[in-house]
Amino acid sequence: MTIKETQEEIIDEFSMFDDWMERYEYIIELGKGLPLIDAQYQVEENLIKGCQSQVWLHAEESNGNIVFTANSDAILTKGIIAILIRVFSGHKTEDILNADLSFIDEIGLKEHLSPTRANGLVSMVKQIRMYALAYQAKH
């Protein structure tokens, strides 16, 4: 599935909910399915700067694609990073770097987060793209 197809799937899923309380609950549920970071990578250098909560993000290359794992100490944040990993994990660096992220606005995520969580969301996306740039530079 392409990044765009995954984003469209997420937009469809969010459109099933009538209000934001239901959407928050769904985000929390998504967090429970997050591909968890291996304990050895849950270290200071993998912490995302700019997040209110602690969020660890790890990336490794597998068959030319980048695979992300993460964890967070906050349930809502864990759901947010789970959405981003679902979109980006398993894709090539150029696809990650060129991806249009309008789906975040389409599901209303940024506008329904506190300012500090919205900043954290931006930091998460930035870190995912930084990993993609780093892997791209290796080739």
Q: Which of 51, 57, 70, 107 is catalytic?
A: 51
Catalytic-residue membership of 51: yes
Beta bridge partners of 66: 61, 91
How far apart, in whole angstroms, are the C-alpha atoms of residue 11 and residue 31?
A: 17
Rounded CA separation 98/129 (Å): 9
3-class SS at 55? strand
For the annotated catalytic residues, the residue numbers are 51
